[in-house]
Chain A
Amino acid sequence: MSAILVSVWHRFPPWSQLALSSLGGIIVILVPLMVAVAYLTFAERKIIGYMQVRIGPNRVGPHGWLQPIADALKLLFKEIIIPSSANKFLFVLAPVLSIGPSLVAWAVIPFTDRLVLANINASLLFILAMTSMGVYGVVVAGWASNSKYAFLGSLRAAAQIVSYEIAMGFALVGVLMAAGTLNLREIVLHQSGNITDWYIWPLFPLFIVYFISGVAETNRSPFDVAEGESEIVAGFHVEYSGMAFAVFFLAEYANMILISALTSIMFLGGWMAPFDVAPFTWIPPLGWFLLKVSGLLFCFLWFRATFPRYRYDQIMRLGWKVLIPVTLVWITLIGVIMVFTPWGHIFH
């Protein structure tokens, strides 16, 4: 049987073999990602429920496990209403612009030493460029809806994301200086060893800045002024319904998982086990990676249950006057220590 498959495979011309194997890789990444997104929404409702001494969804399926599937089916069968004065083309294009970048970025994420779809040498920059594209979905949605609430939401989102992107980029400059490479796989390999070799320790302020900026970039609570349901109803997606709304939702959660994956790659040693001894090495590398990502995702949900929403001027103050100076000082410090003192090795 397998011999027949192999001979069929060799019948294809080389270019189509490349295309087919890439397509296979994309499916292998995206299908689990979509399942993860669905169950992240379920986890969010359950975890926040328990934090607020409630039970959370428990009706659909055993312990409510089928709830995300019921939600997805409901959204699929709802009508997509396009407002009569909306710009129809851009209104439909906005969700696509939102989800596209959040999925494309997964192409360069190294899940383990070998498991990466495209091992390009500037993958860190690629990630940064792709995450900075996500704002277009929000901005275009707000403008094309031709609604005041949506417009206010998109203006807020544009200003916020541009501000926090700078802090995020500077935090990554620190990682770049420590690792000396832009390739995500090599960044993880530079952190091999024990938990003490991870970049979280020498780059601790940058880790905090990166994670806070990540929360702000994904428009998650406490930085969710773009939605701000108490002031501007639901912000940029107030006019969206059915599957078009669900696509925005998917993009937001895929971005959350992406930020968690990047944080664990750049600061928490990616797929590396915390200690290279027996009970820790029983879990496979992919398992460690997923555990770290899950831990960070839990923090996202925890923040939402804990902190009240920032006021808009406070968000701007935090981004420009706190996070950016912190990163600038730490980058300068790293540079000075690396070049002028004998203790540069602590950053490598």
Chain B
Amino acid sequence: MTFLQFMFYFFSAVLVFAATMVITIRNPVKAALFLVLAFFSAAGLWVLLEAEFLAITLVLVYVGAVMVLFLFVVMMLDVNLVRLREGFGEYLPIGGTVAVLMVLEMSIILGSRHFGLNRFPVPPGHSAGFSNTRELGLQLYTVYVYPFEIAALILLVAIIAAIALTMRKRPRTKHQDPGQQVRVRHEDRVRIVKMIAEKKG
């Protein structure tokens, strides 16, 4: 077993373990933290595939931003796990059927017939100076520029829609106008009154 294979099995084992813990552990905060570990192991696997840009972006976006917000929400929720587990037996047949169907469908598509070595041979090795990031950028912004821009537009629409759906205008909240605050001069706030001293001597 080479060092690379050892690393592959190590990351895979951690990934499978973490993914299992995400759905079995009782505490939602710990589940979110195990999901972070799962992302991290997946990033390690991608580095082994020489996809360092994708790996680092996975850590940057999912671990660094998305999961922080997830944790943020999960930490504030007081999730009652006993009630969540009440309907387990009731939903088991439907859930089990869906799971079996999904595994079946995936095994039809994701076989070595479609993704095997004869379809996708091992790409030739690149020299050390080869930059995946540069190649990815060139492909994205030349060949796939329209799909890329359309995807960006759809995401923008989603962002605006999310804000529009959740924003409520509350007339009674008080706002500060920083521009106005900066423009304030002491003449507006302080009035100096000259008066003669009341007590003499």
Which of chain B's residues 62-99 have a Cβ closer than 8 Å to chain A?
63-65, 68-69, 71-72, 75-76
Contact A120 B63 (CB under 8 A): no
Instruction: Name the A residues within 8 Å of B72 (CB-CB).
Output: 139, 155, 158-159
Contact A122 B52 (CB under 8 A): yes
Main DSSP-derived SS at the A contact region: helix
Contact A125 B57 (CB under 8 A): yes
Given contacts A133-B59, A136-B36, A317-B178, contact A158 B68 (CB under 8 A): yes
**Is A215's CB within 8 Å of the partner chain B?**
no
**Is A115's CB within 8 Å of the partner chain B?**
no
| A213 CB, min distance to chain B CBs, angstroms | 14
Number of contacting residues on B, CB 8 A? 24
Contact A155 B75 (CB under 8 A): yes
Which of chain A's residues 88-124 have a Cβ closer than 8 Å to chain B?
90, 120-122
Which of chain B's residues 18-67 have a Cβ closer than 8 Å to chain A?
29-30, 33, 36, 52-53, 56-57, 59-60, 63-65
Given contacts A120-B52, A125-B53, A132-B65, contact A139 B60 (CB under 8 A): no
Contact A132 B63 (CB under 8 A): yes
Interface range for A: 20 to 34
A161 to B71, CA, bound (A): 13
| A219 CB, min distance to chain B CBs, angstroms | 14
A133 to B69, CA, bound (A): 13
Instruction: Name the B residues within 8 Å of A162 (CB-CB).
Output: 65, 68-69
Contact B53 A165 (CB under 8 A): no
Instruction: Name the B residues within 8 Å of A136 (CB-CB).
Output: 36, 68
**Is A336's CB within 8 Å of the partner chain B?**
no
| A139 CB, min distance to chain B CBs, angstroms | 6
Which of chain A's residues 115-168 have a Cβ closer than 8 Å to chain B?
120-122, 125-126, 128-129, 132-133, 135-136, 139-140, 143, 151, 154-155, 158-159, 161-162, 165
**Is B120's CB within 8 Å of the partner chain A?**
no
**Is A15's CB within 8 Å of the partner chain B?**
yes
A239 to B41, CA, bound (A): 31
**Is B133's CB within 8 Å of the partner chain A?**
yes
Contact A151 B75 (CB under 8 A): yes
A133 to B59, CA, bound (A): 8
Across the interface, name the chain A residue whose C-beta is closest to B30.
Answer: A90
Across the interface, name the chain A residue whose C-beta is closest to B27.
Answer: A87
B155-191: contact bitstring with A at CB < 8 Å (1 yes, 0 no)? 0000000000000000000000010000000000000
Partner of B56, one of A125, A155, A165: A125
Across the interface, name the chain A residue whose C-beta is closest to B60.
Answer: A129
| B17 CB, min distance to chain A CBs, angstroms | 16
A139 to B131, CA, bound (A): 35
Contact B52 A140 (CB under 8 A): no
Instruction: Name the A residues within 8 Å of B75 (CB-CB).
Output: 139, 143, 151, 154-155
List 11 extra interface pairs beyond A90-B30, A129-B57, A132-B60, CB under 8 A.
A125-B60, A132-B59, A136-B36, A154-B75, A155-B72, A155-B75, A155-B76, A158-B68, A159-B72, A162-B68, A182-B133
The 10 A-B pairs with the shortest beta carbon distances in the complex, nearest first, are A132-B64, A129-B60, A129-B59, A125-B56, A158-B72, A129-B56, A143-B75, A121-B131, A158-B68, A122-B52
B residues neighboring A (CB under 8 Å): 3, 29-30, 33, 36, 52-53, 56-57, 59-60, 63-65, 68-69, 71-72, 75-76, 129, 131, 133, 178
11 contacts between A and B (CB under 8 A): A121-B129, A128-B56, A129-B56, A129-B59, A133-B59, A133-B63, A135-B64, A139-B72, A140-B33, A154-B75, A162-B69
